[in-house]
Amino acid sequence: MPGLIFASRMALIEAIGTSLFCVGAFGVTVALNYAASGWVTWPIAWSAQKLSSVCGALSVLLR
């Protein structure tokens, strides 16, 4: 982040947003590539998604 701020003279919040967008775009690209190549073990992926949903719901309820 400091390099992005220094090189482009962006405000901190803009640098954070730009960085998150780039990381998100890269992550989606890699995920689609893995899925298209058949490198995803779908039962494990669905289990992880369900577990994260349950943990998210619990964190909201336990506030």
CA–CA dist 30, 48 (Å, integer): 18
Note the residue count of the chain. Answer: 63
Asked if residues 5 and 17 have their Cβ atoms less than 8 Å apart, the reply is: no
18 CB-near residues (< 8 Å, 6+ apart): 4, 10
pLDDT tens by residue, 3-26: 888 899 999 999 999 999 999 999
User: For residue 17, what are its two tokens?
Assistant: 């947003």
pTM equals 0.65
Asked if residues 1 and 15 have their Cβ atoms less than 8 Å apart, the reply is: yes
pLDDT tens by residue, 22-55: 999 999 999 999 999 999 999 999 999 999 999 9
